[in-house]
């Protein structure tokens, strides 16, 4: 029998259930009400997102994959030139880990550190990955890095390649995005960043990507209410809400909201929130960038942008930056 490693799973005490429930309750009580998009990602939410990535309307995942397919060798070579051989690969919001796994052959990482808020989904993905790569040192970190990204120093014992694919950076408004990217630079220990960024494009394409014909995105958005019910002990009834997605031109972002179909009141231990008919709960921002704007954001966070790759239509970009 060959020796096989087991993925190690570390859970941050920071990702403390009570703190997250208090954060959700504070957002619900605010006017207008808002809840962080991180509350999409219980196990079902992670699965629904995975299904969204297969939709015709949802172009980001396949467009980013096509960029990696077309330029994979150049991207890996340029990244390794910054980190040195056999880097630690840090994957932020790893989810199914599929994007990182496709980079393993070219990068030959010495360790794969996968960070995600949905711990159980991450654990399942890592167990499957460990079977495919029995000799690779795999570490799962259950963490909410939206508050603060800080990796256990023993995991990054040399220049790391930080991977932040899928344009998840779009969930952060420019200020918060700069702060997270600054923390990512500190976490890279002199290495590099490979990050996927969704670009500004015609509004009908953007709105369709967040409001698909099958209603998967609507289900993904409504599932946040079920997740809150479990985390907070609230009594939201998803049938009382409708999914909204709209482009906010001034802020260059697609916004998702849940809109109350009727007057209602949600209650949870220690609080309640009444919603008028038509009132909204803001659940997500998906900020869209120009290549110039994103290069400037990287610089603001102390990164040195090296180069970026896009698809033919200029819909999505993959940026490489040096710490």
60 lies in the binding site for ligand AVJ (CB under 6 A)? yes
**Listed ranges 22-30, 143-151, 160-168, 185-193: which one lies at the site for ligand AVJ (CB under 6 A):** 160-168
| Binding letters toward ligand AVJ, positions 170-209, x by CB under 6 A | xx--------------------------------------
Report the first-to-last Cα separation within the chain, whole angstroms: 41
Closer Cβ to ligand AVJ, 94 or 119, answer by number: 94
Q: Are 249 and 242 in contact, with CB atoms under 8 Å apart?
A: no
92 lies in the binding site for ligand AVJ (CB under 6 A)? no
* Residue count of the chain: 323
C-alpha torsion angle, residues 314, 320, 321, 323 (rounded to 10): 160
36 lies in the binding site for ligand AVJ (CB under 6 A)? no
d(CA 314, CA 146): 28
Closer Cβ to ligand AVJ, 53 or 127, answer by number: 53
Coil, strand, or helix at residue 47?
Answer: helix
118 lies in the binding site for ligand AVJ (CB under 6 A)? no
96 lies in the binding site for ligand AVJ (CB under 6 A)? no
* Residue (of 219, 291, 231) closest to 16 by Cα position: 231
Least distance from ligand AVJ to the Cβ atom of residue 86, Å:
29
Instruction: Choose which of 34, 266, 284, 309 interacts with ligand AVJ (CB under 6 A).
Output: 284
Closer Cβ to ligand AVJ, 99 or 308, answer by number: 99
217 lies in the binding site for ligand AVJ (CB under 6 A)? yes
Burial label, 299 (beta-carbon count in 10 A; 0-12, 13-18, 19+): middle
Quote the tokens at residue 6.
């087991």
List Cα–Cα distances, 109 to 38, 133, 187, 294, in angstroms.
28, 11, 16, 27
Which residues in this chain contact ligand AVJ in the complex, by CB under 6 A? 49, 52, 60, 166-168, 170-171, 210, 217, 220, 284, 286
């Amino acid at each position: 029998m060959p020796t096989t490693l087991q993925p190690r799973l570390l859970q941050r005490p920071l990702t403390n259930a009570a703190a997250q429930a208090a954060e959700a309750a504070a957002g619900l009580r605010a006017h207008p009400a808002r809840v962080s998009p991180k509350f999409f990602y219980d196990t079902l939410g992670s699965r629904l997102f995975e299904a969204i990535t297969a939709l015709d309307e949802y172009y980001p995942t396949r467009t980013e994959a096509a960029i990696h397919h077309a330029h994979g060798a150049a991207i890996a070579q340029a990244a390794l030139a910054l980190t040195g051989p056999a880097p630690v690969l840090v994957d932020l919001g790893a989810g199914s880990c599929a994007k990182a796994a496709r980079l393993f052959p070219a990068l030959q990482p010495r360790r794969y550190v996968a960070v995600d808020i949905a711990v159980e989904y991450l654990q399942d993905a890592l167990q499957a990955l460990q079977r495919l790569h029995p000799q690779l040192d795999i570490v799962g970190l259950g963490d909410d890095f939206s508050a603060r990204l800080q990796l256990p120093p023993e995991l990054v014992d040399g220049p790391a390649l930080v991977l932040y694919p899928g344009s998840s950076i779009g969930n952060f408004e420019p200020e918060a995005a700069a702060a997270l990217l600054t923390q990512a630079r500190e976490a890279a220990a002199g290495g590099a960043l490979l990050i996927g960024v969704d670009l500004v494009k015609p509004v009908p394409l953007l709105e369709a990507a967040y409001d698909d014909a099958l209603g998967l995105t609507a289900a993904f958005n409504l599932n946040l209410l079920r997740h809150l019910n479990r985390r907070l002990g609230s009594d939201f009834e998803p049938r009382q809400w409708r999914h909204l997605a709209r482009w906010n031109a001034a802020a260059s972002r697609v916004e998702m909201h849940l809109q109350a179909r009727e007057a209602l009141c949600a209650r949870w231990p220690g609080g309640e929130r009444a919603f008028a008919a038509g009132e909204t709960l803001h659940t997500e921002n998906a900020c869209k960038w120009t290549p110039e704007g994103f290069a400037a954001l990287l610089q603001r966070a102390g990164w040195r942008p090296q180069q970026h790759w896009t698809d033919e239509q200029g819909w999505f970009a993959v940026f490489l930056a040096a710490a």
